């Protein structure tokens, strides 16, 4: 069985003052993070988490401290908490419902210093499989989130050359004529 990995870096480091306590909490569970002066450097050696588990008191505290600042994280967590039993001490959050890219977009939208954030991901695999290698780049601005994978780039190249996917094999050469 092949193991797939998506090491990812976020650039530039995010000023601590630009994130709400809730955004910082969620992003620090989705990614690994390190302090970088008054900022946080987010990265992941395996790939960003799509499911995270957060202690309920920590989550509720961060939500309360973030309530005055408009953020998609607030409504996401509020909706997810409403689905949980009051006795649940750990809250499982499916990040695919909201996407970490949009958490960063809210940060950029409010920031006085960031105009954009980028994410660069490498696709690697423990076996040499064509579907296990490549990468992608994502640009996150206040108004857009867009990305391209290496497969997208190859498709662009093929289109530019008038070739389609699967056209990589040369046609069978005609048999030599016997004149």
Please write the tens of the pLDDT for every residue from 26-67.
999 999 999 999 999 999 999 999 999 999 999 999 999 999
Q: How many domains does the chain divide into? A: 1
Q: Does residue 169 sit within a domain?
A: no
Residue 13 has pLDDT above 90, yes or no: yes
Q: Does residue 175 sit within a domain?
A: no
Q: 13 Cβ partners below 8 Å, 6+ apart?
A: 36, 37, 39, 40, 41, 42
> In terms of residue numbers, what domain contains 147?
4-160
Sorting pLDDT into bands at 50, 70 and 90, what band is 175?
A: low
Structure-token match 């998609």, residue found: 72
Sorting pLDDT into bands at 50, 70 and 90, what band is 132?
A: confident
Sorting pLDDT into bands at 50, 70 and 90, what band is 131?
A: confident
Q: What is the CA radius of gyration of the chain?
A: 22
Q: Does residue 176 sit within a domain?
A: no
């Amino acid at each position: 069985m092949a193991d797939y990995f998506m090491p990812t870096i976020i650039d530039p480091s995010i000023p601590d003052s630009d994130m709400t306590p809730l955004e910082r909490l969620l992003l620090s569970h989705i990614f690994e993070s390190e302090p970088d002066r008054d900022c946080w450097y987010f990265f992941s050696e395996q790939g960003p988490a799509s499911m995270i588990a957060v202690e309920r008191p920590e989550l509720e505290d961060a939500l309360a401290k973030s309530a005055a600042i408009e953020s998609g994280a607030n409504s996401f967590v509020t909706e997810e908490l409403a689905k949980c039993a009051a006795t649940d001490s750990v809250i499982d959050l499916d990040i695919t419902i909201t996407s970490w890219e949009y958490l960063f977009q809210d940060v950029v939208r409010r920031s006085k210093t960031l105009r954009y954030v980028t994410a660069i991901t490498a696709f690697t695999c423990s076996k040499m499989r064509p579907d296990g290698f490549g990468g992608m780049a994502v640009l996150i601005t206040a108004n857009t989130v867009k990305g391209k994978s290496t497969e997208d780039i190859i498709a662009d190249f093929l289109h530019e050359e008038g070739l389609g996917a699967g056209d990589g094999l040369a046609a069978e050469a005609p048999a030599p004529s016997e004149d």
